Amino acid sequence: MALLHGLEILLIGWPGIIGAIVFVSYGIYSKRIGLIVFGALLAIPMSWYLGSTPKFRYFMYGLPLLFIGSAIAVKLKNHILAWILVIPYVLIMGWLACSVITQGQ
């Protein structure tokens, strides 16, 4: 049971967010589609968790699909589009990080 709780923290918490961004970024940089898809899988738990909040109700459920679109763009050798498709996830998670940091002030 403790192992399951630890896995939940890793996937839904900041390690999952940072891991998703790192894997997708390195996957685009190295042109490895498998790493991008793995990053998309890491992004699913946090996206679904935030998708259940009123502020992000419908948008967050489809956000990991942008990573899949990024993998397709890498396969089609359109690397600029691949980087552009990563921007919404990074911006939303950056906004979330700023909100958490400034919450107590």
C-beta of residue 42 within 8 angstroms of C-beta of residue 50: no
What are the pLDDT digits (tens) for 7-34? 676 677 888 899 999 999 999 999 999 9
What are the pLDDT digits (tens) for 33-73? 999 999 999 999 888 888 888 887 788 888 899 999 999 99
Q: CB burial class (10 A; 0-12, 13-18, 19+) of residue 27?
A: buried
d(CA 94, CA 40): 17
- If you ran DSSP here, which 8-state letter would residue 32 be given? -
Which pTM was predicted? 0.86
- If you ran DSSP here, which 8-state letter would residue 77 be given? T
